[in-house]
Amino acid sequence: MTIGKKMVVLFSGLVKNRYGELRSGWAIFAVLLVIVIAQMIARPLSEIGDESNPVFKLEVTFVYGIISIGSILLLFKLFYKRSFKQIGLISEKGIRTFFFGLAFGAISIGIVCFLLMITGQLRIVTFDKEKLFSFGTIAEFISVCVFMFSEELLARGFFMTAMKTTRIKWVILFVPAIIFSILHFMNPDITLLSLINIFIAGSLFGYMFMKSGALWLSTGFHVAWNFLTGDIFGMKTSGTEQPSVLITEMGNNSLLTGLPNGTDASIFTTCILLLAILLVFLLIKKPNHSGWTYDNNLPLIRGNS
């Protein structure tokens, strides 16, 4: 074999596995690069206007959403030429599952808040009824939906589908959860416990994806958790805070409150997320209809549909 042929074989082995599939690392690197570019475009846009203006916030949200979501779907089609069902988008009960996820997430963060209240670590100061039904709150909810759907499409839909090329179930579930945690590493006031909780959350969302066969359960949970934490209960989430319907005061026990990072670093969050994983195991049954599974439609090679 000539040196040229050896180089071609070596390069081919680095890019593709023995099944002729694009190695998951390359696919994940490509889509992460696109997401970084989308953020680099959206961030300057957010700085040229008033983010407190709900119309402007929606404009920035949709620019980011179109670039990030569109790019993920485009790269998925480019790399795998599969139906969007194979990334978890298409589901017969998608809307119902999304609202179930919203309720599940709302109850979960509600329990965290209840635990903080009975331990004296959370006190409600005021309640802004007008803000609850304002256009600004609606715009914020839409924004959270777009960003959380983008995260779920990326970390669960794309990452977990790309990881199917490994044929190892625990890798498909946990490696995307690790990447999901690492992507939050630059959050303000990040702590070891918050990274652990984000990994547990990523594992929960991935398990929801595996059990339901689509993205809508995890998306609903993710939306409810983030929206209620920051926009309703007025607590820090991922190290940031913003105007909220409830004005609250937090206690000094950082293990319980998670401060200065926020609820991501609370031990109560750890317990509730682990309980949520158990409930998914006990209550969520795999759908009878075809959906995303960790071992279907393999190999993921060009030309398959």
- 30-71 tens-digit pLDDT: 888 888 887 777 666 666 766 678 888 888 888 888 888 998
Q: Model's pTM, two decimal places?
A: 0.90
**Is residue 245 within 8 Å of residue 230, measured between CB atoms?**
no
Tens-place pLDDT, residues 200-213: 999 999 999 999 98
Please state whether 194 falls in left (phi above 0), alpha (psi between -120 and 50) or beta.
alpha
β-partners of residue 248 are 124
Residue 301 has what pLDDT? 66
Measured CA angle at 96 (ends 93, 99), to 5 deg: 145
Residue of 114, 110, 108, 119 lying closest to 197 (CA atoms):
108
Instruction: Give the list of residues 6+ apart from residue 293 with CB closer than 8 angstroms, or none.
Output: 210, 213
pLDDT, one tens digit for every residue, the chain (305 residues): 565 444 444 445 577 777 778 888 888 998 888 888 877 776 666 667 666 788 888 888 888 888 889 989 999 988 888 888 888 888 778 889 999 999 999 999 999 999 999 999 988 888 877 777 888 889 899 999 999 999 999 999 999 999 998 889 999 999 999 999 998 887 888 889 999 999 999 999 999 999 998 999 999 999 999 999 988 888 877 767 777 788 888 888 989 988 888 898 999 999 999 999 999 999 888 766 667 888 777 777 654 44
Closest by alpha carbon to 206, among 150, 137, 154, 282? Answer: 154
Query: Residue 175 is which amino acid?
Result: V
Residue 206 pLDDT: 96
Which pLDDT value is given to residue 46? Answer: 64
> How many whole angstroms separate alpha carbon 230 and alpha carbon 246?
9
Task: Tell me 263's DSSP state.
Answer: G
Supply the pLDDT for residue 285.
80
Domain ranges of the chain: 88-283
- What is the pLDDT, as a whole number, of residue 290? 64
